[in-house]
Amino acid sequence: MAAGVGTVPILRNAMLSNVDSSLTQLAAGAVGEQLFNISSSGDAGPTFTAKAGAPRTEYYVAIYGPDGDLMASAGGQDPRQSRPDFPAKFGTDYAYSHQGSIILLDNTTGEGPGYHAAFAVVQFPGSNNIYTQLVALPLDEVEKVVGTYFGIFFLVALVTIIGGALLTRWAVTLTFRRFGQVEATAMSIAAGDFSQRLTDIEPSTEIGRLKAAINTMLDRIDDAIAERDATVRQMRRFVGDASHELRTPLVSVRGYAELYRMGAIQGDEDTARAMERIEKEAIRMGVLVEDLLALARLDEKRELDIQPLDLRPLARDAALDVRAAEPSRTVTVIDTTIEALTGPITISRPDEELPAEAGGGADEAPRRRARPVAANALTALLRRRPRAAGEPAADTGEAETAVPRLDFSVPQALRPVAVPPIVLGEEHRVRQVIANLLGNARRFSPEGSPIEIEVGVDVGAGMGWIAVVDHGEGVPEAIREQIFERFWRADTSRARETGGSGLGLAIVASIVEALHGSVEVRDTPGGGATFRVAFPLAPRTDEELALAATRPMPRIRGAETPSG
């Protein structure tokens, strides 16, 4: 509508310009000679009378004499129609000074749009006088065309507006009909039904993308609610199990105290036995509290001191700790990152002679059986400087045989390690993981059965790993996810007999998660369980890591248990 109203003045002005151009040409032409009979009457000058058979024209012509008086007028289609109201006087001076101008004339009835007129100074044949010729054209046709144009445009605009409004209403109704499904789903969600999902998703439309976003949000809400419920259930079970586990040793301690107070425990032997039981329960309770504190600290997500760690010395230290605690086991460290491995290393008894150098022949001393050694003795052994052949022992104030010795005499034929098992982690946390896995292996495998500690690298995954392999009963596949839960035990009575709190593997899982690693359980070929933990490899851009030692870790083999 606004466009139509704006174009009407433009159209009218264009048509008026055409009319004015035609008037200017007519006024300068011989239109007067076509409409009037010109006759001379002496000195009075010519007279102008309308021709009886003059052609009908759209324009009107008026002739003004030299004195400016109106002498005659003629023209038009129908004499009965209104005519332009020509002025009674129109001087030649004005015509000379304003020649080419357009003037506006009213019609004789005083109604209607009027006329545009142009004038020019002319001279007719047979006269030397100057006359003014005024030509007028009606504006009826211009106004009629403009009015018709405006009416047509108004009707078209009105139809367009009505059609557009109906089409818009239909489109909006269709769009909001789709929003109705969103509204219904939102009301269901507000009522607590989070299982609702939106259908008929068109990713190319805004409403389709909105539905997809709402479905994604609902999925996350479902996951968050499920996680919250699982956390609440786990926390309740954790609190109940912790209370039960703490209550059990407290009941034992309280029971022995009451027996002693009531006089049921008499004699040194009974008292010593009761004190021993109280001490064991107190130790068990202390271990449980320490494990709970460790889990609490891990749950706090404290910032860790991440440093590059070589898994091989950690595996060696863990193997030595197991040998010191349980000499009857054979503990082997296997480095899978090298081409060739060294031979076994034997931990000997202090009174045992080491084998002579290769080729010693009959002078080789006999081998003796190994016996248990303390962890500090092994540490001191590893720090000792090798003694050259024939060099006397240093005077340390104690017998030379007080510290066990290791045989490193096996020749080594090795290739450099392409990618050493150097990972990113916090050392004491990784040591705790290995210790817990070894404790679990000792606890759930037959006494004296061997344990292997494997170290390797998964180059494709960018992980370094360490595995603890036992040869016990193994872990059924159905419970492999549950064993990493807190206080979960497959056999409660056996776990208590072996001193387990049910938190060791939970601590392993929490530490591995904090270090962005992974833990998995596999079956050991021939029976048993293999726990494998992996940590991200340290970047190799550091020069120190690129030049890291690549010598393999030796195998550690326990000797036979001394008889008698």
Q: What is the CATH number of the domain that holds 218?
A: 1.10.287.130
Residue 394 covered by a domain: no
Residue 12 tokens, joined: 């009218």
Is the pLDDT assigned to residue 555 strictly greater than 50? no
Both tokens of 326, joined, read 């349980």
Per-residue pLDDT, 314: 94
User: How many distinct structural domains can be found in the chain?
Assistant: 3
Of 439, 433, 465, nearest to 451 (Cα)?
439
Main-chain dihedrals φ then ψ at residue 242, nearest 5 degrees: -60, -40
Same domain, 494 and 552: yes
- Per-residue pLDDT at 397: 40
Positive or negative, the CA dihedral 212, 218, 220, 226 is: negative
pLDDT above 70 (res 553):
no
pLDDT at 503: 77
Q: Is there a domain that residue 174 lies in?
A: no
Mean pLDDT of the chain: 75
Q: Determine the pLDDT at residue 84.
A: 87
- Say yes or no to pLDDT of 216 above 80: yes
Q: Are residues 292 and 339 in the same domain?
A: no
Is the full-model pTM beyond 0.85?
A: no
Q: Would 28 be classed as within a structural domain?
A: yes
Average pLDDT over residues 68-97: 82
**Could you read off the pLDDT of 381-417 as tens digits, one per residue?**
344 444 444 444 444 443 333 333 333 333 344 455 5
Domain-embedded: residue 177: no
Phi, psi (rounded to 5 degrees) for 2: -60, -35
- As a whole number, mean pLDDT of residues 247-260 equals 82
Which of 121, 146, 171 is the endpoint of a domain? 146
Nearest partner of 549 among 306, 305, 316, 304, judged by Cα: 316
Q: Are residues 276 and 418 in the same domain?
A: no
Q: Which two tokens stand for residue 520?
A: 């998995």
Give the CATH number for residue 515. 3.30.565.10
Residue 328 and residue 263 share a domain: no
Q: Is residue 390 situated within a structural domain?
A: no
High-pLDDT (> 90) share of the chain, %: 13
325 with 289, same domain: the answer is no
4 pLDDT band, cuts 50/70/90, is low
**Domain for residue 501, yes or no?**
yes
Looking at the structure, tell me whether residues 325 and 265 fall in a common domain.
no
Top mean pLDDT of 21-25, 239-243, 340-344, 376-380 is at: 21-25
Of 146, 166, 182, which residue is a domain's last?
Answer: 146
449 and 473 both lie in a single domain: yes
Side-chain-side CA neighbours of 519 within 13 Å: the count stands at: 23
Q: pLDDT exceeding 70 applies to what percent of the chain?
A: 74
Let me know whether 50 and 107 are in one domain: yes
Largest CA distance in the chain: 179
If one counts every other C-beta atom within 10 angstroms of the C-beta of residue 498, the result is: 13
> Is residue 423 domain-shared with residue 552, that is, in the same domain?
yes
Higher pLDDT, 256 or 408: 256
CA 108 to chain centroid, in Å, comes to: 85
Judge if 84 and 221 occupy the same domain: no
Question: For position 18, what pLDDT does the model report?
Answer: 86
- Domain span at residue 272 reads 206-299
Whether 168 is in a domain gets the answer no
Poorest-confidence range of 12-16, 160-164, 500-504, 522-526? Answer: 500-504
Mean pLDDT of 523-550: 75
Distances from the Cα of 130 to the Cα of 64, 95, 167, angstroms: 9, 11, 69
Do 317 and 295 belong to one domain?
Answer: no
- Based on the fold, state whether residues 477 and 537 are members of the same structural domain: yes
363 belongs to a structural domain: no
* Pairing between β-strand 307-310 and β-strand 46-50 as defined by DSSP bridges: unpaired
Between 376 and 431, the more confident residue is 431
Q: What span, in angstroms and rounded, lies between the C-alpha atoms of 182 and 198?
A: 7
Confidence of residue 355 (pLDDT cuts 50, 70, 90): very low
Of 120, 146, 172, which residue sits at a domain end?
146
- Nearest-angstrom CA–CA distance, 186 and 182: 6
| 3-state SS, residue 208 | helix
